[in-house]
Every structure is written in structure tokens, then in C-alpha cells.
Structure 1
């Protein structure tokens, strides 16, 4: 029964996707979290206070990921000109290069799925995940 419940299928699938991306990222001395952050930082940079919520990442995990990225020379932190307390995260030239590599890997994954799954099934998958997210966001799953 456990392998047929919706939550089990979602978790097992996400773990497989995560493992796949991490295995690929390791080839480039990175991780899925770093690649995801690279894709979440646009060319003009992003406020550190917006980055966490955009990525759905907790502050401690985000801080650790940004520290690794800074150490690897992928990002720079600049004082936010609009808010002296804030920081703008910007990609370095190396960060931009790695961002493009990450983007190519995500595109490849999506191309492979689309080549093996019909448009109709993909539409249904998106519809189902939209409903799941709506139920979770509206906090209706465990209400009586």
C-alpha cells in the first residue's frame, strides 16, 4: 500500500530527481541546491531577503548554500542601495557560466520527460500537482 499512496509517490519521485541532479552536479563540484540558487538569481542580482522565499528554502540552509557559493567564487554580496541593512546577491562571471550549465541540465531533463510522456499526461500531471498545492496552501487537507 505505501508505494501506491500519492504522498509516497511524490516523495520517492522527488528523491529520485534530487539524487539525479546531485549526481550530475557533483561532476561540476556543485550540488542541486547550488544549481537551484544559480537559477534563482537573475543577471541583475536579487535581494537576499527575496531569494529564500523564491527558492522555498529555510534561512539556515540558504545561508549555508550562499556561503559555499561565495567560497567557490560563484556569487558576490553587495550592500543593498535601497536598504542599508540588506544585501544583494550577484553572480560572478563564473556564476553566470555555471548558471547556463544548470539551465542546460534542467532543459535536458524536461526535454527527456516530454519526449517520453504525452502532452496530455503532462497536462494532467500539472493539473493534479496544482490541486495538491492549492489544498496544501489553503490548509484544507486536515480540516474537518
Structure 2
């Protein structure tokens, strides 16, 4: 552990989690991105497509591909946003709601497995460290250079 950098551990862990979720989702003809989208869409009121990307931390092009695939599989449908003539609301179909429940149970199972193997204190420390890292990044307190000349 002592030779590994923090970013390496984060990246390796996230890749392992993503691989695990994708392997599980594949059993149900899905992907981790699809499962995450299902969980991010309001199951009753729909969700504006413009808020979905930031909510999921996905780039617009990746989100567009994911939503297109979900629509083709009958998981979602789109309707014009009555409050914004240019916008679209994404809704879950009944099939989408079923798959959403499956995704939710998968996430809960993962969380329960971690909680059974990690102490409350360890999990709390992990959450606190993750929050600090996110704050450092959001507040640009790591790489806050204003120009390339400052790097020299």
C-alpha cells in the first residue's frame, strides 16, 4: 500500500467496482451506465435531460448514447418539457421501473456487503476523505494555476 498513490487506489478501486457492476448488469442485458441512469431518473415526475448528465457525472455524448440505447430497449421515453420549450423530460416506462428496482437492489447489495466487511469508523473515514478530495477538486485547490508560465 505504501508505494501506491491516492489517485492510483481511487482509480483501481473505481475500475473494479465498475467492472463488477457491468458484469452483474450484463446478466440482465444492461450496463452500469444504464443502471445508474435508471436510478437517476425520477420514477414518477421524469427528469429534464439537461440535469441528468451533471447528476450522473457523464459527458453529453456518453449520456446521449446511453439514453438512445435505453429508449431502444423500452426503458425510457421522452416528452417535451412543458416548462421549457427547448427541453425534454425523460420518463421511465413500466419496464424501466422494473429494471430500476433491480438496479437499486444491486446497489443495496453492494453497500450491504461493504458494510459487513468494514467497520462504521472505517466507512465514516472513507466518506470523509472522499468528501475532502471532492471539495479540493471543486474549489480548485489542487491545480489552481492561472497560466502555463506558473508551472515552470
Same fold (TM over 0.5): yes
Structure-1 residue corresponding to 2:148: none
Structure-1 residue corresponding to 2:111: 110
Gaps of at least 5 residues in structure 1 are none
SS of corresponding position for 2:36: helix
CA–CA distance in structure 1, aligned partners of residues 46 and 96 of structure 2: 11
What whole-Å deviation, never above 9, does each CA across 1:81-137 have from its counterpart, x for those lacking one? 111111000000000000000000000000000000000000000111111111111
Structure-1 residue corresponding to 2:99: 98
Deviating beyond 2 angstroms after TM superposition, the runs of 4 or more aligned structure 1 residues are none
Aligned CA RMSD, in angstroms, stands at 1.4
Distance 1:116 1:55, change over 3 A: same
TM-score (norm 1): 0.97
CA–CA distance in structure 1, aligned partners of residues 80 and 109 of structure 2: 36
When Rg is computed on C-alpha atoms for both structures, the one with the higher figure is 2
SS of corresponding position for 2:79: strand
Gaps of at least 5 residues in structure 2 are 146-152
CA–CA distance in structure 2, aligned partners of residues 2 and 69 of structure 1: 43
What whole-Å deviation, never above 9, does each CA across 1:8-42 have from its counterpart, x for those lacking one? 00000000000000000000000000000000001
Paired positions, count: 144
CA–CA distance in structure 2, aligned partners of residues 132 and 83 of structure 1: 35
Structure-2 residue corresponding to 1:24: 24
CA–CA distance in structure 1, aligned partners of residues 105 and 3 of structure 2: 32
**Aligned positions of 1:24-43 closer than 5 A:** 24-43=24-43
On the 8 A contact 1:75/1:91 being kept in 2, the answer is: yes
**Aligned positions of 1:1-144 closer than 5 A:** 4-43=4-43, 44-143=45-144
